[in-house]
A and B are shown apart, each in its own frame.
Chain A
Amino acid sequence: MLGAVICEQSGSAASKLCVKHMVTPVVLQAEVFPYPEVGNEEAEEIQQLVAPVEKFFAEEVDSARIDQEAKIPPETMNGLKELGLFGMQVPEEYGGLGLSNTVYARLAEITALDGSIAVTLAAHQAIGLKGILIAGNEAQKNKYLPKLASGEHIAAFCLTEPGSGSDAASIQTRATLSEDGTHYLINGSKIWISNGATADIMTVFARTEVVKDGVKADKISAFIVERAFGGVSSGKPEDKLGIRGSNTCEVAFDNVPVPVENVIGEVGGGFKVAMNILNSGRFSMGSSSAGMIKKLIELTSEYAATRKQFNRSLSEFGMIQEKFALMAVNAFVMESMAYLTAGMMDRPGLPDCSVEAAIVKIFSSEGGWICVSEALQVLGGLGYTKNYPFERYVRDCRILPIFEGTNEILRMYIALTGMQHAGKILTGKIKELKKGNIGVAFGMAGKRLKSAFGSSVDFGLTGKDGVVHPSLEESAKKFEQNVAFFGTTVESLLYRYGKSMVDEQLILKRVADVLINLYAMTAVLSRSSRSISIGARNHDHEVLLANTFCSDAYFKNNYLMTQLQKHSPENNDANIKKIAKEVLENRAYICSHPLERTF
C-alpha cells in the first residue's frame, strides 16, 4: 500500500527513516533524521566567514541609496569582490572559496539584507557560472572560473525569451553550426536577464540541430558566450518595482560566433543542464528569507515595545503579538528547511534534492512576502514611508514567487514528480490485480478501511526507539497521521484521474501544498529534536515553535486532503473554473451593476 510503507533499512531503522517511502508517493529521498551536522572544521570556518560579511553589510552597504539610484555603487561592488563573495562555491583550485551548500546558505542570510546585492550575486554564481561548474569540462573551468571567482568577470544566465518563460523548452534562439564545423552562430534575444548589461560571460541556451540515428531533431544546447565574441548587445535597464539596484535587461545575439569548445555538456543536452543549474541554487532562498525576517523582527520589535497607544505599548496587543509569532515561526521553518536541504545536498554522491529545493523556494517566497507585509503593518503609516526600510523589503520580496521558476510551475513539479513515483508503484499493483491477485486488492481495501477508522499509525518516529524527542511526540503523531491520510488520498486521485491528472492544476496545487507542509514539519521536527539533544540555547522555544507550526499545518493538511476526496462538498473547484471561464470569455467582470435597473 502506498501510504504506509516504511523503508526498512538495516541497523537503526528509525535513524535512517526514508522519507521517500514514508511520504510516498513523493520522491523525498535522503535521510532527514538526524538533522545534518557540520564538521568541526566547517563550524569554525562558518564563524570566521560570517563576521567580515556582516560587518561589511552593516557599515558599507547603503541599501536606501542603492534602491533610490537603481544601482550598486562601484565602491560597494569592489568591496564585495574583494571580500570574495563572487566565487563562494567555485573550488579553491580555480580561485574561489569552495564553500559547501551549507556555508553558502549561511552567507546568503547576510547578503539577503540587501535584495539588489543578493540577486546580483546569485545571478552571477548560483546560475550564471553554475553551468561551467557542474557541467563544464576541465578546459572550460580553467579558462573561465578564475576570473569569474574574483569578480573580474561577471556572469549571467540567458534562458528566458519574450515567448518562453515558464515554458522554457520552447525557446527559439538558434545556434547554427558553421560550414567548417569550428563554431556556432547564435541568433535570438533573451529578456529579464539579471546582470545582462554588466556580464562578460553568459550561459546562453539555444536550439541546435541534432542528428540521432539518422533522425534530425531540434534540441536545446548550452553555450558559454563571451561578450567579447561580438554581436552581443544589451537593452536599457528595466525600471522595476524592487531589487532596483540589480541590473535586468534584454540581451540580443546577432550572429554571435561561439567556438564549439564552448558547448557545455552535450550538444542537445542543454535543457537538462538548465534544469540542473536552476535546481542547484534554489534552496538558498530559504536561508535568505530567514535572514531577512530575523532582521525585520529586530527592527519591528523595537518599535512595538516602545510605541504606545491607549496607554499601552503595541506589544501588549494580541493582533500585534500574532504578527511576531508569525514571523518567528516562519523564520524557524525556513531556516530548518534550508539547512536540512543544504545538508542533504552536501552529502557525497550528489543526491537529487530538486523536489525539496522547490519546496523550500515556495515556502520561503510566500512566507517572506506575508511576513514583510505584516512587519510593515506593525509600523503603520511609518512603515508605508520611505523613511523606513519596510516598504523596500516589501518591494524587493515581490519578485521571489516569480523568478527562479514561478511558484505555480514549481507546485506542478512537486506534485507531478510525486505522482509519477506513486503512479509507478500503482501501475505495478494494478498489473498484479489484473493477473488476478485478489490478495493485493484485499490488502489495499483492508488498509484503506483501517485508515478510514483513524486507527493509529506508527512509522517509528516516536516511542522508545523513536528519533523524535518526547516533547515533540504530539506533533510527530500528527505528522504520521497526515502522511497516512495523504497516501490514501493520492492513491484515490490516481484511480480517479489516471494520466489526465496533469491537467488538474487545482488538484495538483493542493497535493503540492500538503507536501510542502509535510516537508516543513519534517524539517522542524528534525531540527528541534537535535536542539534538545545537544542542549542548544532556548531549545524550549524551538519546541514551542515546532509544535505550533505542526499543529497548524496538520489542520491545514487535513482540510486540503478533505477537499481532495471524491465528491467533497468542501471542494469548490467546479465553481471556480466556471467563474473563471465566464470572466475570461468576456475579458471583464460580467455582473450587471447593482444599481442598474431592468424595469
Chain B
Amino acid sequence: MSGRVLVGVKRVIDYAVKIRVKPDNSGVVTDGVKHSMNPFCEIAVEEAVKLKEKKLIKEVVAVSCGPQQAQETIRTALAMGADRGIHVQVTGKDYETLGPLQVSKILAALAKKEDAQLIILGKQAIDDDCNQTGQMTAALLDWPQGTFASEVSMEGDKLKVVREIDGGLEMIKINTPAVVSADLRLNTPRYATLPNIMKAKKKKIANVNPADLGVDLTSRVEILRVDEPPQRQAGVKVETVDDLVGKLKDTGRI
C-alpha cells in the first residue's frame, strides 16, 4: 500500500457572499467576488491530515482543477497539512462547463498515476450542489465508496465508514482502495495558521494538463439560463381553521 491519499479541493464563491445573478442570466457574478475553499473540501483535507497525524497514511496530495487561482486553494490545503499539490489546469470555456463527470475522470486518472490508496472528497460543492463527483470517481475506478461519511476509521486494509443517511446512521465496512466523501459532522477543520502558510510556500505544486491524463473535457450539459430564486412573500396570519381553508380556496390552492 502506497499510503497515499488524494484529496480533491474546489475553489468556490465564499459561503458568506450574497450571490448576484449576471444581468444576462448566463450565470452568477464571480468577478471581484470573494472565493474560498469549499467547506466540505476543508473537512476532507482535515480528515486526510488527521489520518496522517495518526500515522495511518503516509502522504496527503491536494488536487484542484481550474485556472491559475486554483493554486490559492491548493496552498490553503498545504497550509492545513497536505504534503504536496497537483494543479490540473482548466481555463476559459472548459472551466465554465467543468462538472462532476470531467472532474471524476481527472481524479480517476490521477489516482492511478499516483497509486493512491484513498480518495477523500467533500460530499458536494456549495456552488452547484451536485453531490456526484465522489460517486462517479468510485465507479470509474471500480472502487468501493463511503459517501456522506461522518466517521472514518481504518482497520487493517479495510475502511469502516459511518454514513449519514435519511433514517439516521449507517455503518459499512469497505475494502481499500476506496473513495470517501465527507459530510458536515466528520470533523471541524483546523485554521490554516499564518506560520503554516509561510511553511507551505516551500511545498511543491505540480502543474498538469487534462490532455496529459487522457481526459476529454467535453461537457454533456449546457446551461440555458440562471435566475434568482423567487422573492419570499410575506405570510398572513389567520385566526381559525375555517379562515385558513377560506384563504386557501381564495388563492386557488385548493
Q: Does B4 reach chain A (CB closer than 8 Å)?
A: no
Q: How far apart are the CA atoms of A44 and B72 in the complex, in Å?
A: 8
- On whether the beta carbons of A45 and B201 are closer than 8 Å, the reply is yes
Contact of A97 among B31, B36, B194 (CB under 8 A): B194
B198 within 8 A of A: yes
Task: Report the Cα distance A103→B92, complex, angstroms.
Answer: 32
A49 at interface by CB-CB < 8 Å: yes
**Chain B residues whose C-beta falls within 8 Å of the C-beta of A79 in the assembled complex:** 191
Which stretch of A82-90, A342-350, A363-371, A430-438 is in the interface? Answer: A82-90
Chain B: CB-nearest residue to A58: B16
Q: Does B75 contact A (CB under 8 A)?
A: yes
Q: What are the interface flags for A44-73 relative to B under an 8 Å C-beta threshold, 1 for contact and 0 otherwise?
A: 110111011101101000000000000000
Q: When A44-B72, A48-B79 are in contact, do A84 and B191 touch as well, CB less than 8 Å?
A: no
**B193 contacts A83, C-beta separation under 8 Å:** yes
Closest Cβ–Cβ distance, residue B47 to chain A (whole Å): 19
A52 adjacent to B191 (CB under 8 Å): yes
Q: Which residues of B contact A85 (CB under 8 A)?
A: 194
Across the interface, do A82 and B193 meet the contact criterion of CB distance under 8 Å?
yes
CB pair A52–B197 under 8 Å, yes or no, is yes
B198 contacts across to A, CB distance below 8 A: 45, 92, 97-98
Please state if A84 and B36 are interface contacts (CB–CB under 8 Å): no
A52 and B195 within 8 A (CB): no
Q: Are B194 and A84 in contact (CB under 8 A)?
A: yes
A78-123 interface (Cβ within 8 A of B)? 79, 82-85, 88, 92, 97-98
For the complex, give the distance between the alpha carbons of A47 and B31 in Å: 16
Residue interface bits B14-42, CB-to-A below 8 A is 1, else 0: 00100000000000000110001000000
Q: Dominant SS at the A interface? A: helix
In the complex, A47→B193 CA distance in Å?
A: 13
Could you say which of A44, A49, A55 contacts B194, with CB atoms under 8 Å apart? Answer: A49
Asked if A464 is an interface residue, CB under 8 A from chain B, the answer is no
Contacts of A98 in B (CB 8 A): 198
Chain B 73-94 interface mask (CB, 8 Å, partner A; 1/0)? 0011001000000000000000
| Complex contact A51–B194 (CB within 8 A) | no
Specify which chain B residues have a CB less than 8 angstroms from the CB of A45 in the assembled complex: 197-198, 201
Q: Is A593 an interface residue (CB 8 A)?
A: no
Mark out the residues of chain B between 190 and 246 whose CB falls within 8 Å of any chain A CB in the assembled complex: 191-195, 197-198, 201
**A51→B36 contact, CB < 8 A:** yes
**Chain B min CB distance to A594 (Å):** 56
Assess A97 versus B195: contact at CB under 8 Å? Given A45-B201, A537-B32.
Answer: yes
Residue pair A48, B191 in contact (C-beta under 8 Å)? no
B69 — nearest CB in chain A belongs to which residue?
A47
B196, closest chain A residue (CB): A84
**Which residues B149-201 have CB closer than 8 A to chain A?**
191-195, 197-198, 201
Cα(A51)–Cα(B76), bound, Å: 9
- Set of chain B residues within 8 Å of A58, measured between Cβ atoms: 16
Q: Which residues of chain A are within 8 angstroms of B72 by Cβ–Cβ distance?
A: 44, 47-48
Closest Cβ of chain A: how far from B142's Cβ, in Å? 38
Q: Is B195 a contact partner of A84 (Cβ separation < 8 A)? A: yes
CB of B108, distance to nearest CB on chain A (Å): 30
- A79 to B190: give the CA distance in the assembly, Å: 11
Closest to A99 in B: B194
Most B CB within 10 A of own CB, among A48, A49, A53? A48
- Beta-carbon contact of B32 and A49 below 8 Å: no
Of all chain A residues, the one with the shortest Cβ separation from B192 is A52
Q: Which residues of A contact B75 (CB under 8 A)?
A: 44, 48
A51 lies within 8 A of B32 (CB): no
Known: A48-B197, A49-B197, A537-B31. A55 touches B76 (CB 8 A): no
> Closest approach, in angstroms, between the C-beta of A376 and any C-beta of chain B?
24
Knowing A47-B72, A48-B75 touch, does A53 contact B194 (C-beta < 8 A)? Answer: yes
Distance of A469 Cα from B72 Cα, bound (Å) = 33
**Complex-state Cα separation, A58 to B14, whole angstroms:** 13
Contact residues in B for A44 (Cβ distance below 8 Å)? 72, 75
Residue contact B194 to A83, C-beta cutoff 8 Å:
yes
Residue of A nearest to B191 (CB): A52
Instruction: Report the separation of the CA atoms of residues A572 and B201 in the bound assembly, to the nearest whole angstrom.
Output: 60
Q: Whose C-beta in chain A lies nearest to the C-beta of B194?
A: A84
Q: In whole angstroms, how far apart are the Cα atoms of A79 and B194 in the complex?
A: 11
Interchain CA distance A44-B194 in the complex, whole Å: 13
Besides A49-B194, A97-B198, 9 more A-B contacts (Cβ < 8 Å) are A44-B72, A48-B72, A48-B197, A52-B79, A52-B193, A79-B191, A83-B191, A88-B194, A97-B194
Q: Chain A interface (Cβ within 8 Å of chain B)?
A: 44-45, 47-49, 51-53, 55-56, 58, 79, 82-85, 88, 92, 97-98, 537
Could you list some 18 contacts between A and B, CB below 8 A? A44-B72, A45-B201, A48-B72, A48-B75, A48-B76, A48-B192, A51-B76, A51-B192, A52-B192, A52-B193, A52-B194, A53-B194, A55-B191, A84-B193, A84-B195, A97-B194, A97-B198, A98-B198
Q: Which residues of B contact A (CB under 8 A)?
A: 16, 31-32, 36, 72, 75-76, 79, 191-195, 197-198, 201
